[in-house]
Amino acid sequence: MKNKGLRGVDAGETSICTVGEKSDSLHYRGYDVVDLSENCSFEEVAYLLLYKKLPNKDELRKFKSRLKSKRYIPEQLKEVLERIPKSNNPMDVLRTACSFLGNLESEKNFDNQFDCSERLLAIFPSVLNYWYHFSHSGVRVSIENSSDSIAGHFLSILYGREPNETEEKVMNISLILYAEHEFNASTFAARVCAATLSDIYSCITGAIGTLRGPLHGGANEKAMELISKFDDVESASKAVYKMLENKELIMGFGHAVYKTQDPRNEIIKKWSRTLSEGKSNSKLYFISCEIEKIMKEEKNLFANADFFHASAYHFMSIPTKLFTPIFVCSRISGWTAHIIEQRLDNKLIRPGAKYIGKDPMSFIPLNERS
Ligand SMILES: CC(C)(COP(=O)(O)OP(=O)(O)OC[C@H]1O[C@@H](n2cnc3c(N)ncnc32)[C@H](O)[C@@H]1OP(=O)(O)O)[C@@H](O)C(=O)NCCC(=O)NCCS
């Protein structure tokens, strides 16, 4: 079928983001992600996505202060989180938390959409880390800390100490790189839901479920599973050639829109290298580089944003099962911007399908069927 998976089809209009326009670049509301990641905090980028402009100093201060005041977890939600076992997928934890929060703090009408967006942006790092600590060590961790950034807040609860400057910087950059990506699968799911005029919690719950799959957000965890199998560059090289021979997918490579490069890769790759320096497991960086080289030579495929995120997060001692949920903590900024945009000029999204089934037939009563 032509355009299978809606490749190359414009399924709507947006002024939030361009992916791969002209060259393989990425822009959020006209700003290159390279500039944003070098010069901004994640909060500035989230503000840009939600409020359509970069904040001035006063707007940023007030935004950060609002986010800080919205980090708390209601007691009923803590009770729910405490019932979810350690063995569960943390993406299911965030999906449930979002849906449950929608019961506690429902979006009464669309006038609340910015409030709800900020609330979700602020609460996901608290929810994820609260559940992680309780389910893994039985500790009701405090989500109070002095950090005024989402990156600092996240790492402070995860580590139980303040992150160092590099850790906080890389987390900040990672959140910026994952913040927005036009009509990707999870954002499109959120917009389809928003187009029915449903509430924001339903839209985001659907988006989390969509991001969960290994062909989308789950690729960074799968990339980690792959690189951590190998003891050295040679064994990685041998195994990847074998996988390609067997026509296996190598997670963290290829992209539905970019043709020559994913502009986020060079940025996170550079930080993965910096983080690897002086680490006992720095081989993971070199193993990743070797796989990247083979994929380019053998398949002409480039590493996407997920591949070097795996080693970078690992060097920051982030448990693998939290990789994709961190993507949620970031992409919530893009999702909510898209929901708000969809509502502004709404039309129910209802495409057609090319029918490939049987021609019309005579009905056969139950007792005459073989
Ligand atoms: C992202 C992805 C779904 C894009 O898919 P797409 O544009 O529809 O491209 P296709 O799946 O049609 O792939 C085209 C060809 O490249 C191959 N290919 C694509 N990605 C590959 C990968 N990661 N490893 C090995 N081969 C790959 C396909 O097998 C196909 O080969 P064929 O023509 O011989 O059948 C795909 O590249 C993929 O599955 N990547 C791994 C998952 C991943 O990293 N996802 C995160 C995306 S940000």
Q: Taking Cα atoms as reference points, which of 193, 195, 216 lies closest to residue 205? A: 193
Q: How confident is the model at residue 8 (pLDDT cuts 50, 70, 90)?
A: confident
Q: What is the pLDDT of residues 304-350, one digit of tens each?
A: 999 999 999 999 999 999 999 999 999 999 999 999 999 999 999 99
Annotated active-site residue in 255, 309, 314, 338: 255
What is the per-residue pLDDT for 2? 84
Evaluate: CB of 255 within 6 angstroms of ligand 1: yes
pLDDT at 1 over 90: no
What is the per-residue pLDDT for 22? 75
Of 139-148, 195-204, 214-223, give the lowest mean pLDDT range. 214-223
Which one-letter amino acid corresponds to residue 131? Answer: W
Nearest CA to ligand 1 atom 9: 256
Work out the mean pLDDT of the chain and round it to a whole number.
Answer: 96
Q: Taking Cα atoms as reference points, which of 101, 125, 127 lies closest to residue 115? A: 101
Please give the distance, rounded to the nearest whole angstrom, from the Cα atom of residue 303 to the centre of ligand 1: 11
58 has catalytic annotation: no
User: Going by CATH, does the domain composed of 13-215+322-344 fall within 1.10.580.10?
Assistant: yes
What is the per-residue pLDDT for 182? 97
Q: How many CA atoms lie within 13 A of 204 on its CB side?
A: 34
User: CA torsion, points 41, 124, 98, 63, in degrees to nearest 10?
Assistant: -40
Evaluate: CB of 331 within 6 angstroms of ligand 1: no
Where does 219-315 sit in CATH, by number?
1.10.230.10
Annotated active-site residue in 92, 115, 148, 216: 216
Residue 185 CA to residue 180 CA, distance in Å, equals 12
Please give the distance, rounded to the nearest whole angstrom, from the Cα atom of residue 217 to the centre of ligand 1: 14
Residues of the chain with CATH 1.10.230.10: 219-315
* DSSP codes joined into one string, 223-269: HHHHHTT-SSHHHHHHHHHHHHHTT---TTB--SS-SS--HHHHHHH
Evaluate: CB of 221 within 6 angstroms of ligand 1: no
- Average pLDDT of span 31-38: 98
Annotated active-site residue in 153, 199, 306, 314: 306
181 has catalytic annotation: no
Evaluate: CB of 125 within 6 angstroms of ligand 1: no
Q: What is the pLDDT of residues 209-251, one digit of tens each?
A: 999 998 888 899 999 999 999 999 999 999 999 999 999 999 9
Beta strands 31-32; 17-19: pairing state: unpaired
Nearest CA to ligand 1 atom 1: 255
Residue 293 CA to residue 300 CA, distance in Å, equals 9
Evaluate: CB of 262 within 6 angstroms of ligand 1: no
From the CA of 217, give the closest atom in ligand 1.
46
From the CA of 243, give the closest atom in ligand 1.
25
What is the per-residue pLDDT for 52? 98
In what helix (H) or strand (E) does residue 170 lie, and over which residues does it extend?
helix 165-177
What is the per-residue pLDDT for 69? 97
262 has catalytic annotation: no
pLDDT at 101 over 80: yes
Residues of the chain with CATH 1.10.580.10: 13-215+322-344
